[in-house]
Amino acid sequence: MALSEIYLSRLAEVERRYQELSEKLSDPQIFSDRERYARVAREHAELEPVVEAYREYRRVLKELEENRELLGEGDEELRELAREEIRTLEARLEELEKEIPLLLLPRDPNDEKNVIVEIRAGAGGEEAALFAADLLRMYHRYAERRGWKTEILSANETGLGGFKEVIMRIEARGAYSRLKYESGVHRVQRIPVTESGGRIHTSTVTVAVLPEADEVEVDIRPEDLRIETMRASGHGGQHVNRTESAVRITHLPTGITVYCANERSQHQNRATAMRILRARLYEKALREQEERIQSERRSQVGTGDRSERIRTYNFPQNRVTDHRIGLTLYRLEEVLDGDLDEIIDALITHFRTEALKREEETLLRQAA
């Protein structure tokens, strides 16, 4: 199926813009303004894959036309070579016709950001807290596999080694583009270590993946904050309960509260708490903006809606099921060891396909 005139028109506009940016980058004067240069270079890099695909699409069309003309002339050997080339070109053309609309989809501006992953025990008491620890390890192992840096920002541990709440920062370009699909309620079905009768219990853990916000992206006024210091409480340690190193920050307009006691100094805990608060406020603003634009979409990626169960981890059946896309894998141990790419790749494909359908519907309405 050939690309429609709407797509061809948009591709021509993208190519014109790409050429303008190329000319700006070749102008020596732009190097004197580092901020402007970075902005132009970033947009140029974002458009490059689209332009390359568009130029290849035109090249393939031209070569197809030339080879089809050869079918009506020359000897049989030449015509057979032309037929083979046509088959190859037609296959590549089909790939490009699927690839280009996806490349034209609006980019999520947060995709390249670091992330803050908040994991909270839900229904299930101590078993939920233990599974929160399992999920923390899963994401930590996933980050290790990809060479990403991790840092625990805050942790509220339980006596058996679980977590009521744990917050981890992952530093890597593109981390949000991969992990944003993990936001939601994760359900576990297994026999808890605290269960003497051997019965299978169902517990839940809530995961929130927030893009880390820069200071310039979230305006936090000092007068909107209530900052309290207190003595840290927890499992032992020479600094526990001796100095007021723990910090609790409340953002008064929204009521969002962050408590941090992981670091030994009050200054460090305050800085960490502000980082978490900034991410939560940024995610809240994104969610409200999305709800204004698409009020009828309730469970869409990027809205931060975490009220719906997204995945089940069934230990007796060695099964992991992602309910959003109906994907079931029978290798629970590997998934919990951080082997998440098959699930995440399937989610990316699903949500990009859904986004493409909406984009095409919008284009058709505009053309009508």
What pLDDT shows up at residue 205?
Answer: 94
Intervals of the chain under pLDDT 50: 235-242, 293, 296-307
Strand order in the sheet with 256-260: 225-230, 246-251, 256-260
Residue 96 lies in a domain: yes
Q: What's the CA gap between 354 and 61, in Å, rounded? A: 28
- The residue count of the chain comes to 368
Angstrom distances, CA of residue 155 to CA of 73, 121, 129, 258, 338: 75, 12, 11, 12, 20
Is there a single domain that holds both residue 345 and residue 201?
yes
pLDDT at 217: 67
Asked if 118 and 165 count as a contact pair (C-beta separation under 8 A), the reply is yes
From 103, 123, 138, give the residue that closes a domain: 103
**Structure confidence at residue 241 (pLDDT):** 45
pLDDT of 99 reads: 87
End-of-domain residue from the set 84, 103, 122: 103
Please answer whether residues 191 and 201 qualify as being in contact, where contact means their C-beta atoms are separated by less than 8 angstroms.
Answer: yes
Say if residue 120 is in the same domain as residue 239.
no
Q: Are residues 78 and 32 in the same domain?
A: yes
Is 303 part of any domain?
no
Question: Residue 302 falls within a domain, yes or no?
Answer: no
Q: Are residues 272 and 135 in the same domain?
A: no
Measured distance CA(157)–CA(227) in Å, rounded: 23
One domain for residues 99 and 116: no
* pTM exceeds 0.95 for this model: no
Q: Is residue 304 part of a domain?
A: no
pLDDT at 179: 95
Domain count, the chain: 3
Q: CA-CA distance, 29 to 229, in Å (whole number)?
A: 51
- Clarify whether residues 79 and 55 are in a common domain: yes
pLDDT at res. 344: 95
If asked whether residues 187 and 231 sit together in one domain, one would say no
Residue 94 sits in a domain whose CATH number is 1.20.58
Q: Are residues 337 and 285 in the same domain?
A: no
Q: Give Cα 170 distance to the centre of its chain.
A: 12
The Cα–Cα gap between 336 and 343 comes to: 12
Calculate the CA dihedral of residues 243, 116, 140, 350 and round it to 10 degrees: 160
What are the phi and psi torsion angles at 167 (to 5°)? Answer: -125, 125
- Same domain (yes/no): 191, 327: yes
Considering the domain architecture, whether residues 121 and 87 belong to the same structural domain is answered as: no
Supply the range of the domain harboring residue 251: 213-296
Residues 325 and 292 in one domain: no
Residue 331 tokens read as: 């290798």
Indicate whether 208 and 116 sit together in one domain: yes
Q: Which residues pair with 184 in a beta bridge?
A: 207
DSSP string, 197-258: S---EEEEEEEEEEEPPPGGGS---GGGEEEEEE---SS--TTTTTS--EEEEEETTTTEEE
CA angle 336, 341, 343 (to 5 degrees): 80
Q: From the CA atom positions of the chain, what is the Rg in Å?
A: 26
Residue 351 lies in a domain: yes
Contacts of 224 (CB under 8 A, 6+ apart): 251, 252, 253
> Residue 57 class from Cβ within 10 Å (0-12 exposed, 13-18 middle, 19+ buried)?
buried
Angle, nearest 10°, between helix axes 5-25 and 76-103?
A: 80
Q: Is the residue at 170 inside a domain?
A: yes
Q: End-to-end CA distance of the chain, in Å?
A: 20
Residue 264: CA count within 13 A, CB half-sphere: 4
Residue 187's Cα: distance from chain center in Å? 20
Residue 107: left if φ>0, alpha if ψ -120 to 50, beta else—which one?
Answer: beta
Domain boundary among 83, 103, 123: 103
CA dist 7 and 50 (Å) reads 12
pLDDT digits (tens, 9 = 90+) for 195-221: 667 788 899 999 999 888 776 567 788
Q: In this structure, is residue 259 part of a structural domain? A: yes
The token duo for 49 is 């894959």
CATH at residue 224: 3.30.160.20
